[in-house]
Amino acid sequence: MNLKIGVIKGDGIGPEIVTEAMKILDKTADKYGHTIEYTKLLMGGASIDVHGVPLTDETVDAAKSCDAVLMGSIGGDAKTSPWYKLEPSKRPEAGLLKIRKELNLFANLRPAVLYDELRGACPLKEEITEGGFDMMIMRELTGGLYFGERKTVEENGVLTAYDSLTYNENEIRRIAKRGFAIAMKRRKKVTSVDKANVLDSSRLWRKVVEEVAAEYPEVTLEHMLVDNCAMQLVKNPKQFDVILTENMFGDILSDEASMVTGSIGMLASASLNETKFGLYEPSGGSAPDIAGQGIANPIATILSAAMMLRYSFDLDKEAEAVEAAVAKVLADGYRTGDIMSEGKEKVGTVEMGDLIAAYI
């Protein structure tokens, strides 16, 4: 198979960690008899430096011509970077919102896996984390508060800001169906997270999710309020299989989940549309304070590449080979600084990529 992959290396540590993920993809393709055609794309601060905007229409068109896109981290230091002296619509993160909308990437998948070997890096008590855990957070990505109408106006001499949280039943139904379909391939449990005791949008969310659940009788559905879910993630993360939720709640909960896995450097991410196309990226930021030092953890980006193989190309065997290589490297005691613990061997970004590639 020929894999047409767009590559957005991004800002900060982005180029370093994406380079290692490409190394793993190349090794996997070579072993399993595939070819890869990469298309270089600019987004975020790197695009601002060249084009003056975080994402051009030409880049969007080029991305659409690919089968999938692998992306690094976007953005810089908000206090010192000249990118953040621009108006909000011209800043790096605006490119991320635009590409999600333009490519209709409505379903965000964030697996949160605690490897048993990394229990020591997890801030939770050992009796909670023993044996590890494995959950998938399904976040609706193109609706809700982040994409609603907003304005700031002066009313009676007082500045007042408005942000609209809007969902229609079709937007909810399509993400719910994707969540239940993924649950069917896992442990067949969906926890739908909302704030139905307060918000009309959440009450509609709950109603539509229950309608979709009727189509998947093998899957157990439970509803959970978002504040309770935030508590349960640190109290008993093993209870979760698929967490299905709206945009803002998913943004917050997935970052919380990343920390109970030990490091945000371990959290992969996929954003999918209604076809096989997806954008794959690590969940962490661009970490400009450590950029260029060769110490960033590339594992989240490598695991994102594994998700690409599975969801965009249906190459399950190849995806499993990458995931197994990551697990083997961790089992053998190799660690980047963010997941380092006593008695383990500390390695840098390139070394970690080399070790994982060697195990494929």
What's the mean pLDDT in 273-295?
93
Q: Which residue has the tokens 């909810």?
A: 172
Q: Which residue has the tokens 């048993």?
A: 116
User: What's the pLDDT at 325?
Assistant: 97
Does the annotation count 67 as an active-site position? Answer: no
What's the mean pLDDT in 233-245?
96
Q: Are residues 96 and 142 in the same domain?
A: no
Cβ neighbours of 18 (radius 10 Å): 25
User: What's the pLDDT at 115?
Assistant: 84
User: What's the pLDDT at 234?
Assistant: 93
Q: Are residues 1 and 92 in the same domain?
A: yes
Q: Are residues 150 and 93 in the same domain?
A: no
Does the annotation count 251 as an active-site position? Answer: yes
What's the mean pLDDT in 36-40?
98
Residue 337 belongs to a domain: yes
Q: How confident is the model at residue 259 (pLDDT cuts 50, 70, 90)?
A: confident
Question: In the predicted model, is pLDDT for residue 206 greater than 80?
Answer: yes
Catalytic residue among 115, 251, 334, 338: 251
CATH assignment at residue 175: 3.40.718.10
Catalytic residue among 49, 163, 200, 227: 227
User: What's the pLDDT at 258?
Assistant: 80
pLDDT digits (tens, 9 = 90+) for 76-130: 998 999 999 999 999 999 998 899 889 999 999 999 988 877 877 788 888 888 8
User: What's the pLDDT at 75?
Assistant: 94
Q: How confident is the model at residue 18 (pLDDT cuts 50, 70, 90)?
A: very high
Question: In the predicted model, is pLDDT for residue 39 greater than 80?
Answer: yes
Q: Are residues 141 and 236 in the same domain?
A: yes
Q: How confident is the model at residue 300 (pLDDT cuts 50, 70, 90)?
A: very high
Q: Report how far residue 212's alpha carbon sits from residue 192's, in angstroms, rounded to the nearest whole number.
A: 12
* Overall domain count for the chain: 2
Q: Are residues 150 and 236 in the same domain?
A: yes
Domain that holds residue 131: 123-260
Catalytic residue among 27, 167, 195, 334: 195
Question: In the predicted model, is pLDDT for residue 136 greater than 80?
Answer: yes
Considering the entire predicted model, what is its pTM? 0.86
Q: How confident is the model at residue 255 (pLDDT cuts 50, 70, 90)?
A: confident
Q: Are residues 6 and 78 in the same domain?
A: yes
192 sits in the region (left: phi over 0; alpha: psi -120 to 50; else beta) called beta
Q: How confident is the model at residue 229 (pLDDT cuts 50, 70, 90)?
A: very high
Average pLDDT over the chain reads 94
Does the annotation count 255 as an active-site position? Answer: yes
Q: Choose one of 260, 292, 327: the last residue of a domain.
A: 260
Catalytic residue among 146, 328, 346, 354: 146
Q: Are residues 187 and 255 in the same domain?
A: yes
Catalytic residue among 134, 255, 344, 359: 255
Q: Are residues 179 and 304 in the same domain?
A: no
Q: Choose one of 237, 260, 283: the last residue of a domain.
A: 260
Q: Are residues 32 and 14 in the same domain?
A: yes
Q: How confident is the model at residue 353 (pLDDT cuts 50, 70, 90)?
A: very high
Q: Are residues 97 and 171 in the same domain?
A: no
Q: Are residues 222 and 128 in the same domain?
A: yes
CB 304 within 8 A of CB 70: yes
Residue 114 belongs to a domain: no
Q: What percent of the chain has pLDDT over 70?
A: 100
Q: Are residues 273 and 356 in the same domain?
A: yes
Q: Choose one of 205, 238, 260: the last residue of a domain.
A: 260
Residue 115 belongs to a domain: no
